[in-house]
Amino acid sequence: VEIREASLPDELLVLRQMMNAYLVEFDPESDPATYWDDGYFAACQEGASRGAIQILFAVDAAVPVAFIIGRIEDLWYRPSLKLGHIEEIYVVPTYRRRGLAKSLLSRLKLQFRDRDVATMTALVHCLNPSALLFWLPIGFEIQAYHLFAPL
């Protein structure tokens, strides 16, 4: 299995297919088209073109089987400090527990370091606590509860 950068825009469709599978795994009722919609993928492409978004694939026999999406942003009050957000990471179920997520993350870390990122973050949905079994042993710690309210 090879780790490489996704080729955009050609591979946006295969990215979208994996993201749809990811969403349906966690919320079978959800409509992927309204969650990760056209605007999301347009923003991915735009961000990738200016280096703010990194999308990596793990590819087996030319078929993408896992992805990671990273996003770099300046800390709003100190632009010299850069944060690297891991926006999404997903491995097709039959390829799990083979180290693919770890490999994707290692490669993304190199890209973050090349761009002077000082701190990485990852967001885990409350409905997906088992993802913590991946993050916590590899150096991430829970530092905040992220709260949301509709207006």
Ligand X SMILES: CC(C)(COP(=O)(O)OP(=O)(O)OC[C@H]1O[C@@H](n2cnc3c(N)ncnc32)[C@H](O)[C@@H]1OP(=O)(O)O)[C@@H](O)C(=O)NCCC(=O)NCCS
Contacts 24+ apart (CB under 8 A), 5-14: 5/54, 5/55, 5/56, 5/57, 6/55, 6/56, 6/57, 6/64, 6/67, 8/44, 8/45, 8/48, 8/49, 8/55, 9/45, 11/57, 11/64, 12/41, 12/44, 12/45, 14/64
What backbone phi and psi angles, to 5 degrees, belong to 37? -95, -175
Task: Please tell me what DSSP assigns to residue 102.
Answer: H
Q: Which range touches ligand X (CB under 6 A), out of 35-43, 45-53, 74-82, 96-104?
A: 96-104
137 is a contact residue toward ligand X (CB under 6 A): yes
Task: Write down the least CB distance from residue 78 to ligand X, Å.
Answer: 26
Complex with ligand X: residue 48 or 100, whichever CB lies closer: 100
Provide the phi-psi class of 59: left if phi over 0, else alpha when psi is between -120 and 50, else beta. beta
Q: Write out the two tokens for 119.
A: 């701190």
94 is a contact residue toward ligand X (CB under 6 A): no
146 is a contact residue toward ligand X (CB under 6 A): no
Q: Using CB under 6 A as the criterion, what x/- string covers residues 3-22 for binding ligand X? A: -------------------x
- Say how many residues touch ligand X, by CB under 6 A: 19
96 is a contact residue toward ligand X (CB under 6 A): yes
Q: Which range touches ligand X (CB under 6 A), out of 4-12, 49-57, 122-130, 139-147?
A: 122-130
100 is a contact residue toward ligand X (CB under 6 A): yes
Classify residue 84 as exposed, middle or buried by CB count within 10 Å of its CB (0-12, 13-18, 19+): buried
Residue from 52, 82, 98, 111 touching ligand X (CB under 6 A): that is 98
Residues 50-89 that bind ligand X (CB under 6 A): 89
> Which parts of this chain interact with ligand X (CB under 6 A)?
22, 89-91, 96-102, 122, 124, 128, 130-131, 133-134, 137
